[in-house]
Copies of this chain bind each other. A is one copy, B any other.
């Protein structure tokens, strides 16, 4: 971790709830969702430990957790890497996202206050701006924030954490094809439709809009991935 844009602090900094393994875990996770590592990048325990300025034990535990939840993969008894894109995993995760994010959306839709609606509009503007300026990392970050702002409404923590794990599972491997993925203004239409349906207090319409967004994303991602696979 170099001191560039992340909000994580120095190695074993202040109030990280203590545990170094938690610090290591969220550091790696942050870097994964920021697209710091390309698919195939190796993550040996000792390198990670050195980078984060911690011992081997917390680094090992963090890596193993990530492997366990599928954010990293083991390709050999002693080699874990950032996963390569995997169309069948993408399909699976998409199916699960439709089921679970649809559920969260529908359960929470009626609880949207004006504050939340305002927040969603602000986020959407940020996304649009980021896409125009080709700051894809920021766009991804805010897109996630848009979705989770809606999902949080249902107040189902177990559901939320399960969904988050799903995002992590494919997030990293698709980062490097984001430019071609985002050629069009990704998701704008669906997001606006979702906001409108929230205003209308129409849960199934919100769900439909979010599902559409997920499906659109899937199609574009799949296409971009296939083209890249063909090209190489």
Contact = CB atoms under 8 A, between A and B. Distances in A.
Interface of A: 18, 21, 57, 61, 64-65, 68, 70, 77, 89, 92-93, 95-96, 99-100, 102-103, 107, 156-159, 161-162, 165-166, 169
B61 A92 contact: no
Given A57-B57, A92-B159, A162-B166, 16 more contacts: A61-B64, A70-B158, A70-B161, A92-B156, A92-B157, A95-B107, A95-B159, A96-B158, A96-B159, A96-B162, A99-B99, A99-B100, A99-B103, A100-B100, A162-B162, A162-B165
A156 B95 contact: yes
A159 B68 CA distance: 14
Contacts of A89: 158
A68 B64 CA distance: 12
A92 B154 CA distance: 10
How many copies of this protein are present in the complex?
A: 2
Contact of A93 (B21, B65, B99, B158): B158
Nearest to A170: B158
A136 B86 CA distance: 41
Contacts of A157: 92
Q: 10 smallest A-B Cβ distances: which pairs? A: A99-B99, A92-B158, A92-B156, A99-B103, A92-B159, A99-B100, A95-B103, A96-B159, A89-B158, A65-B68
A10 B114 CA distance: 60
20 contacts: A57-B57, A61-B64, A64-B65, A65-B65, A65-B68, A70-B158, A89-B158, A92-B156, A92-B157, A92-B158, A92-B159, A93-B158, A95-B103, A96-B100, A96-B103, A96-B158, A96-B162, A99-B99, A99-B100, A162-B165
